[in-house]
Amino acid sequence: MTSPGDGTPVKPPPSFSPGVARNASKSRYPDESEATASLDAELADARTGSSPTSPLPTATAELPIRSSSPQSRSGRSSTPQLARSSIGSPFDGRSDGSEDIRSLIIRAFSPTVAVHASEDTDALVRNKGFKGGFWDLVRPFGETIPGKVVIRDSIGSSRAWEDYGVRFVNIKGLGAANAARDSPLAQMEEVLEKQLNSGEDTLGGAISGKDVLGIPATTPLSKLFLRQLLSSTSATPHETFGHPVASVIAISSRNTAPLETLRQLYAESNTGEKRLPDWIQQDYLRYYVLIHDEERDDIAESTKLYDQMKRHFGLHCHLLRLRSSQCVVTDDDSTQVPPCEWLSPQEHLLGVGEAETLVDLGTDGTPYLFDSDATAIKTFIRELMVQSVIPFMENRVAVWNDQVASRRRGISGRLAAVSRRWPFGSSSRSGIGSSGGNSGNYDTTQNFYAPESPEATLRKMADFAFMLRDWKLAASTYDMIRSDFGNDKAWKYHAGAHEMCAVSMLLNPLAMSAKIKLESVDQMFETACYSYLTRCSDAPHALRSLTLAVELLKSRGGSAIETAARWAMRVMDFGLVESIGQILFMERVAACYASKTTVTGAKWGARRRKAGMWSILAADQWLKAGKPSLASACLEEAERLYADVLEADGAFPMPEMQTFVDNLRHAVKVEYLEARGFDARDESPIEDPIGTEEISEKLDKRSHRRSLIGLPAQLDAGNLKLSPGPGTLEEAPNDDFERA
Amino acid sequence: MSYYFTILSPTDTPIFNIAFGTSKGGGDGIARFRFPDTAQYMNQFIIHSSLDILEEAQWTNGGIGARFLLLHQPPQLPSSGSSSTLGASSLLGSSGSTTRASSSSVAANPTSPQTEEAVRQFMSEVYESFVKTAMSPFYKQGMEIRSPVFRSKITAAGKKWL
């Protein structure tokens, strides 16, 4: 119905001059300016340009509730946004927030590179203040690779990506990932709670992440949630995103027997004690790094050694020049190490990412690096990815596509697959009686496919294609194998393939013009969710697939939004999330409905009322959770949403609704002010709609709802905003301006 | 299964409200919502939000004849736990879209064709009595309907069909 292209003209809320409403409230509450400034800081800076009427943009007092003051469409035009997102993406003009989420999701599935460093290397790096050794040092830099990364897809066309990343993992942690611990979901909840309590102020200020169009994008909290969720899963047999694509074997120039050490490290990871679990394919790329200590060793020696390495191990080598002394803030060319974006909930709880809070104290918790070191590491990572890992992956995909997938795709392959199921003659493993019997590659006792089996290889190939962002190939491959897993009763694989098939279909910008596709995607999520939850009772993965469904369907726009909202409600129904997660999902439902746009020129087709309802419910829940500032943000959001559909004075037509909202407003206000040390109890709820300052004169005596006015005669008149409602409202602030 | 039935005026103000339970299968006709403490406003919220769909449907579904829309609000959680509050709202009106009637219910299986048919029957009966009431010379458009006769008729229709 709405193709992504014409979804753009969201009807902006009636344009207010925002500074005015704030002035009005200022006169009532002159002494809360500092206390509440933070709530408004973000809004203020978004508006300063468009509100010349406000004399004190930052100091203006802001009540937690600005009743019925819809956010103005900020004065900025949408052109820069268009320019940004038009890099080959068909989502031009889609809200910035969804681009952001898409990018987040895409980056979550980055290739994994294991780090395997020798003792002397780790000692050298530990000397620099990185407790975790070499892995700890390179990890934050891997999350964004500077510059564009060009990837060729299966049909040979290349595309440049700005936001490519790589995940470095410690080789020691890979095998023993699933140690006994409480479920990642509980940990996630804990992290959210921690974040809420610690960063109440900052969150309150930045909570209203509005994008240019005024559609609620995402709150930082829900982004944190998503990031947590996507990084919570460790390496599992059924999907290969966590399996290393390559491993970096590092030695330092301090090593006395460098080549032997390299060989020994290789052997250790191949056959020795650091060997990865059986379900991980062992022939990943090995990349050899020599770390040269600038301060203690001779570069000539190192270069010689490096040449030797190249001769022995081929081209996948790098010479990384680092200074061995520790860098402190006061050093001339110190740069801060970027914070890690993808910390698993467990690491969050252990406080790995906590170092940032100590920044201004300059304690040793904050890692700093010399500028030259940072540059060297960035160059190293870029070279590693662009020259070795990505070509390796491209090559692998091409080979597997050629050898395994095409054979499977062809007629003979299908016949073979069938005949494998009904083995005639000798060794009838699965028995002829069981129709659709298994292929025999699935190890039912240990629940995984051997990595060399065609099923595992195809899954790996699809994952590689996914990580290389060739979603078309990925989707078709997942599609090919998903029924095989079902036949083998490999339920986790089955669920994973369904999930990723749907996700890659949704990510593929060109596919899915037809509605039928949407239904099949829906069906796949349904299957994935059922397999994860009921057959494997794997709640984290089920939650992940549903969350991905919500976010990606939401970014699709149009009729997919309804589905997105439905999945979000399913998440709540299943009880996959705990209290804070519930509220976040309520907010997501509201955001989904809010992003549904009206049919061009008409006034219907949006879901403003639904969005408003969910926002109010979320506000109620936040209040119950004791977070009045978040509740007030939600309430504000609800008012902005309702502003379109309610009468000009913002009154609800239904009496109980009105009382509920009034009470909620009052409660939020009281708690909010109390939290900041004001006593607002004496204020009666009747006096509540402060901030509106009865500015709206009700001029229009119409007897129909707005959607009935201006329809259908105005259908062709573009998005005229002729309805009397906004008109009267626009008058009002001017009055106020004179008064102020 | 409990129902919450509302007639809205063209400006979205409710002019008639009634909540009743099912009389089928041994029901006593008393409304019992899953969450009694929040039911009052939640029902109104649900009805109000279903206007979105109604608004869209009245323009996309051809003319505004006496047609029925049975829309199911997806399950949602007013407080906690799993619930299935379902809102069904229907559009009535033969000449202009001036009358709307909504009902919401907590149901075991509100999607079944039997339920839908029952609601349809109920609606047409309600519509008849509504037209009669609205034609009263003492009734002005948009006024709240206070007529006890009308209320008893609705209750009877509810008992009969739902």
Domain boundaries, chain B: 2-161
Name which of B52, B75, B97 is nearest A569 (Cβ-Cβ): B75
Contact criterion met (CB < 8 Å) for A657 and B41? yes
Q: What's the pLDDT at A273? A: 74
d(CA A4, CA A370): 46
Is A111-175+237-391 in CATH node 1.10.287?
Answer: no
Residues 560 through 579 of chain A touching chain B, CB cutoff 8 Å: 565-566, 569, 572-573, 575
| Bigger pLDDT: B50 vs A473 | A473
Mean pLDDT of A606-615: 86
Q: Is A133 left (phi over 0), alpha (psi -120 to 50) or beta?
A: left
User: What is the percentage of chain A residues whose pLDDT exceeds 90?
Assistant: 8
pLDDT in tens, A298-340: 889 899 999 988 998 888 899 998 888 887 777 778 888 888 8
Does A352 score more than 50 pLDDT? yes
Does A605 score more than 70 pLDDT? yes
Q: Which residue has the tokens 């999930």?
A: A499
Contact criterion met (CB < 8 Å) for B48 and A708? no
Q: Which of B41, B82, B104 to mutate to test the interface with A (most CBs of A within 10 A)?
A: B41
Mean pLDDT of A340-367: 60
Residue A288: pLDDT band by 50, 70, 90 thresholds? very high
Q: What's the pLDDT at A217? A: 52
With CA atoms as reference, report the closest residue to A242 among A541, A581, A552: A541
Mean pLDDT of B42-60: 77
Name which of B14, B58, B77 is nearest A654 (Cβ-Cβ): B14
Does A559 score more than 70 pLDDT? yes
User: What is the percentage of chain B residues whose pLDDT exceeds 70?
Assistant: 64
Which of A463-477, A595-609, A649-663 has maximum average pLDDT? A463-477
Contact criterion met (CB < 8 Å) for A569 and B12? no
Q: Is A698 on the interface with B (CB under 8 A)?
A: no
| Bigger pLDDT: B67 vs A269 | A269
d(CA A428, CA A414): 19
**Could you give the residue ranges of the DSSP H alpha helices within A325-467?**
345-350, 371-383, 390-400, 406-409, 411-421, 454-467
Does B73 score more than 50 pLDDT? no
Mean pLDDT of chain A: 71
Does A244 score more than 60 pLDDT? yes
Q: What's the pLDDT at A325? A: 82
d(CA A527, CA A520): 10
For residue A538, give the DSSP letter. -
In A, which residues are within 8 Å of B56 by CB distance? 604-605
Name which of B56, B75, B76 is nearest A604 (Cβ-Cβ): B56
Indicate the fold that domain B2-161 takes in CATH. Beta-Lactamase (3.30.450)
For residue A737, which amino acid is it? F
Name which of A566, A602, A616 is nearest B74 (Cβ-Cβ): A566
Contact criterion met (CB < 8 Å) for B51 and A609? yes
In A, which residues are within 8 Å of B51 by CB distance? 609, 645
Of the candidate ranges A171-185, A620-634, B119-133, the one whose mean pLDDT is the lowest: A171-185
Contact criterion met (CB < 8 Å) for B45 and A657? yes
d(CA A384, CA A114): 12
Which of A5-9, A147-151, A153-157, A191-195 has maximum average pLDDT? A147-151
Q: Is A213 left (phi over 0), alpha (psi -120 to 50) or beta?
A: alpha
| Bigger pLDDT: A278 vs A619 | A619
pLDDT in tens, A436-448: 445 567 777 777 8
Q: What's the pLDDT at A99? A: 73
Contact criterion met (CB < 8 Å) for A654 and B47? yes
For residues A461 and A405, the answer to whether their CB atoms sit within 8 Å is: yes
Name which of B14, B41, B52 is nearest A653 (Cβ-Cβ): B14
CA quadruple A93, A94, A97, A102: dihedral sign:
negative
| Bigger pLDDT: A51 vs A699 | A699
- Say whether A408 sits in a helix, a strand or coil: helix
Of the candidate ranges A76-85, A471-480, B41-50, the one whose mean pLDDT is the lowest: A76-85
Mean pLDDT of A11-24: 38
Q: Count CB neighbours of A497 within 10 A.
A: 31
| Bigger pLDDT: A364 vs A114 | A114
The model's pTM is 0.72
Query: Chain A: residue nearest B74 by CA?
Result: A566
Does B103 score more than 50 pLDDT? no
d(CA A584, CA A203): 14
Contact criterion met (CB < 8 Å) for A607 and B52? yes
In B, which residues are within 8 Å of A575 by CB distance? 82
Contact criterion met (CB < 8 Å) for A613 and B74? no
Residue B10: pLDDT band by 50, 70, 90 thresholds? confident
Contact criterion met (CB < 8 Å) for A653 and B76? no
Does A624 score more than 80 pLDDT? yes
Q: A155 forms bridges with which residues in the sheet?
A: none
Structure token digits, residue A85:
């997102």
Contact criterion met (CB < 8 Å) for A605 and B10? no
Phi, then psi, of A119 in degrees rounded to 5: -55, -45
For residues A557 and A5, the answer to whether their CB atoms sit within 8 Å is: no
**Cα angle: A386, vertex A392, A398; to 5 degrees:** 120
Q: Which of B34, B45, B53, B84 to mutate to test the interface with A (most CBs of A within 10 A)?
A: B45
Mean pLDDT of A257-280: 83
Residues 605 through 624 of chain A touching chain B, CB cutoff 8 Å: 605-610, 612-613, 616-617
Contact criterion met (CB < 8 Å) for A703 and B76? no
For residue A385, give the DSSP letter. I
A357 CA: distance to closest CA in chain B (Å): 35
Q: What's the pLDDT at A463? A: 92
In A, which residues are within 8 Å of B41 by CB distance? 656-657, 659-660
Does A95 score more than 60 pLDDT? no
Interface contacts A/B by beta carbons within 8 Å: 83
Contact criterion met (CB < 8 Å) for A656 and B40? yes
Q: Is A602 on the interface with B (CB under 8 A)?
A: yes
Name which of A573, A654, A703 is nearest B82 (Cβ-Cβ): A573
Of the candidate ranges A217-226, A693-702, B126-135, the one whose mean pLDDT is the lowest: A693-702
Q: Which of A608, A624, A646, A654 to mutate to test the interface with B (most CBs of B within 10 A)?
A: A654
Q: Count CB neighbours of A96 within 10 A.
A: 20
d(CA A644, CA A451): 56
Residue A424: pLDDT band by 50, 70, 90 thresholds? very low
Q: What's the pLDDT at B124? A: 84
Q: What's the pLDDT at A255? A: 84
Mean pLDDT of chain B: 66
Q: What's the pLDDT at A706? A: 52
For residue A110, give Cα distances in angstroms to A223, A283, A317, A394.
Answer: 18, 19, 22, 14
d(CA A486, CA A494): 6
Of the candidate ranges A361-375, A632-646, B38-52, the one whose mean pLDDT is the lowest: A361-375
A624 CA: distance to closest CA in chain B (Å): 10
Q: Which of B35, B77, B80 to mutate to test the interface with A (most CBs of A within 10 A)?
A: B77
Query: Chain B: which residues have CB within 8 Å of chain A?
Result: 8, 10-14, 40-41, 44-52, 55-56, 58-59, 74-78, 82, 97, 141-142
Name which of B45, B76, B141 is nearest A569 (Cβ-Cβ): B76
Mean pLDDT of B151-161: 88
Of the candidate ranges A135-149, A323-337, A510-524, B116-130, the one whose mean pLDDT is the lowest: A510-524
Of the candidate ranges A60-74, A115-129, A221-235, A236-250, the one whose mean pLDDT is the lowest: A60-74
Q: Is A708 on the interface with B (CB under 8 A)?
A: yes
In A, which residues are within 8 Å of B12 by CB distance? 653-654, 705
Residue A500: pLDDT band by 50, 70, 90 thresholds? very high
Mean pLDDT of A556-578: 84
Phi, then psi, of B88 in degrees rounded to 5: -120, 130
Query: Chain B: residue nearest A703 by CA?
Result: B11
Contact criterion met (CB < 8 Å) for B11 and A653? yes
Of the candidate ranges A94-103, A544-553, B138-147, the one whose mean pLDDT is the lowest: A94-103
Contact criterion met (CB < 8 Å) for A705 and B13? no
Q: What's the pLDDT at A62? A: 41
Contact criterion met (CB < 8 Å) for B74 and A569? yes
In A, which residues are within 8 Å of B36 by CB distance? none
Q: Is A657 on the interface with B (CB under 8 A)?
A: yes
Q: End-to-end distance of chain B based on CA atoms, in angstroms?
A: 9
Q: What's the pLDDT at A365? A: 56
ipTM of the complex: 0.76
In A, which residues are within 8 Å of B76 by CB distance? 569, 572, 617
- CA within 13 Å, CB half, A572: 30
Q: What's the pLDDT at A602? A: 65
Contact criterion met (CB < 8 Å) for A703 and B74? no
In A, which residues are within 8 Å of B4 by CB distance? none
Q: Is A705 on the interface with B (CB under 8 A)?
A: yes
